[in-house]
């Protein structure tokens, strides 16, 4: 038997209603949420470009405007996989380069069920780094090509918007605490930037370049405008699959 019920969405200023088909008596999933979905918004850039600062400000601004929104970051260092990655980045352990690349990807895949659920429920996700960092950083290492590095992340939920915080590695290196973690080395960051430049040529991804050398408030204003536009357009579109 198909049951149809009206459920309120959480977090929205104006109570929104969602027609939701539930499970039939045999427990088989019989339909999907028919409400408006949240947007998947990603911030990328070289180390210290200002991603975390801007993710936090964006989440706060969207919450204040009545949106249901949550922040995520990759790597997510709280999981078992994330702890392996964190120890590697902090130079407390060594891992073979292919292995750590696959761990970064696994750290994204382990979050996919909860990401999809939140997006379906109408929550917008603001994500600090995603598969683009995965491909750019590993392919900056000798012996790795961009194509191979993208493969493990093919099929991840596709971001509706990827904002690339453009800041020269030289300027980024002057910002707080640069140099503490494994990849925070000038030459390496320059190669990472070149790999990001290659990734940004892909028209299947909705890239927006943001001048991250502006003041924190000016960057924030630009990012908020792009995000609000994307939230509006994404709500009626199906969630895509990355690099497919
Ligand atoms: N527009 C800006 N102008 C000047 N300083 C900034 C700007 N944005 C961020 N910062 C400062 O730069 C430093 C790095 O910022 P933040 O942690 O947001 O960068 P990030 O890109 O998330 O870094 P990471 O790559 O380490 O995750 C912080 O000290 C922050 O206050
Ligand atoms: C997601 C991801 C990240 N990296 C690199 C990029 C940074 O050097 C660190 C993460 O630092 P943060 O301050 O926690 O943002 O890891 C990577 O190599 N591969 C990835 O997939």
In three-state form (DSSP H/G/I as H, E/B as E, the rest C), the secondary structure along the chain is CCCEEEEECCCCCCCCEEEEECCCCCCCCCCCECCCCCCEEEEEECCCCCHHHHHHHHHHHHHHCCCCEEEEECCCCCCHHHHHHHHHHCCCCCCCHHHHHHHHHHHHHCCHHHHHHHHHCCCEEEEECCHHHHHHHHHCCCCCCHHHHHHHHCCCECCCEEEEEECCHHHHCCCCCCCCCCCCCHHHHHHHHHHHHHHCCCCCCCEEEEECCCCHHHHHHHHHHHHHHHHHHHCCCCCCECCC
Pairing verdict, β 69-73 and 17-21: unpaired
State how far the Cα of 184 lies from the Cα of 169, in Å rounded to an integer: 10
Cβ of 133 below 6 Å from ligand 2:
yes
- Among 89, 97, 191, 242, residue to substitute to test ligand 2 (most atoms within 8 Å of Cβ): 89
**Is pLDDT above 70 for 5?**
no
pLDDT tens digits, residue range 169-205? 899 989 988 999 999 999 999 999 999 999 999 999 9
Q: Provide the pLDDT for residue 85.
A: 98
Report which bound ligand comes closest to the CA of 75. 2
**In this predicted model, which residue has the larger pLDDT, 193 or 22?**
193
pLDDT at 2 > cutoff 70: no
Dump pLDDT digits (tens) for 136-170: 999 999 999 999 999 999 999 999 999 999 999 89
Q: Is the pLDDT of residue 1 over 50?
A: no
Probe target for ligand 2 pocket from 73, 103, 133, with the most ligand atoms within 8 Å of CB:
133
Question: Is residue 29's pLDDT more than 90?
Answer: no
Peptide bond into 75 cis (omega under 30): yes
What's the pLDDT score for residue 177? 87
Task: Enter the ipTM.
Answer: 0.99
Question: Domains (ranges, CATH) in the chain?
Answer: 40-238 (3.40.50.300)
């Amino acid at each position: 038997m198909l049951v149809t019920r009206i459920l309120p969405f959480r977090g929205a200023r104006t109570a929104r209603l969602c027609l939701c088909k539930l499970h039939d008596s045999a427990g088989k999933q019989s339909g999907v949420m028919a409400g408006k979905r949240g947007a998947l918004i990603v911030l990328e850039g070289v180390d210290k470009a200002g991603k975390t600062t801007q993710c936090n400000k964006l989440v706060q601004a969207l919450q204040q405007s009545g949106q249901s929104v949550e922040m995520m970051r990759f790597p997510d260092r709280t999981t078992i996989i994330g702890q392996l990655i964190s120890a590697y980045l902090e130079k407390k352990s060594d891992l073979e380069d292919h292995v750590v690349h696959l761990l970064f990807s696994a750290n994204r895949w382990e979050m996919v069920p909860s990401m999809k659920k939140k997006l379906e429920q109408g929550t917008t996700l603001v994500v600090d780094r995603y598969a683009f960092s995965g491909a750019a950083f590993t392919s900056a290492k000798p012996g790795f090509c961009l194509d191979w590095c993208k493969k493990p992340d093919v099929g991840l939920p596709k971001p509706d918007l990827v904002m690339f915080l453009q800041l020269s590695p030289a300027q980024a290196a002057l910002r707080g605490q640069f140099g503490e973690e494994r990849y925070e080395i000038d030459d390496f960051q320059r190669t990472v930037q070149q790999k990001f430049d290659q990734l940004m040529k892909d028209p299947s991804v909705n890239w927006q370049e943001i001048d991250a050398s502006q003041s924190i408030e000016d960057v924030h204003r630009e990012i908020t405008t792009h995000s609000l536009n994307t939230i509006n357009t994404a709500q009626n579109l199906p969630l895509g699959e990355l690099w497919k």
